[in-house]
Amino acid sequence: MDNRPSLPGSWVDSQGGNRKGKSVNGLSKGIRKVEVALRWDPSPAGRPPADLDLVAGTYPAADPYGAPSYLVHFDSRSPDGTIVLNRDSQDGKGFGDDEVMTLELDRLASEYRRVVVGVAIQQRSGRLPFADVVRPGLRIREGYTVLAEDDFGGVAQSVAATVAEFVRAESGAWEFRAGVHGFEGDPASFTRLMGARRGA
């Protein structure tokens, strides 16, 4: 029986499973500049290439769980240069990290209250969940400090997931909230809903 949620989009809470990811300092204050790195191995011969995309959404204080003020991904840049996609891969080939995004939160305009980072898998040749991507991995760090790592094992049957949330406190300092939350739906729905309250 297929128990996957119906489209266009719904959330799937991580159930753990064979997940090897870890979170360091699940709630850490004073985050200034963060690097989010994504990696995966190329698909086996005869299978279509897997294309995973990092995407970040910014949300204003006036509506922190509504529509994003803007999105940053392979085809869209931050208007002020504070969030940059430094590396973009369409097939997971090459050495090291395949996609890298840098977020300079300390330079982000005061009107923004939240930043949510997600990973979406392009769905070009039928449904492709994380379970069918070869060795996917995520690392979030500030400088040399690793804030979180994950292998998407807890959301293996999802096709997208939010992987980090940064929230500006009343003091103005940015806090990091760890957690990988799976999403079922097309990439367009994911980018529209990735900042919403889960279960809303």
Parse the chain into domains and list their residue ranges: 12-193
User: Out of 10-19, 36-45, 130-139, 144-153, which region has the weakest mean confidence (pLDDT)?
Assistant: 10-19
79-116, pLDDT tens digit by residue?
899 999 886 555 445 656 778 999 999 999 999 999 99
- pTM of the prediction? 0.84
Q: Which of 125, 134, 39, 153 is nearest to 88 (CA)?
A: 39
Cα three-residue angle 114-149-49, rounded to 5 degrees: 95
pLDDT tens figures, 132-167: 999 999 999 999 999 999 999 999 999 999 999 999
H/E stretch holding 140 reads strand 134-142
Q: Which of the following CATH numbers is that of domain 12-193: 2.60.60.30, 2.60.120.620, 3.30.565.10, 3.40.50.2000?
A: 2.60.60.30
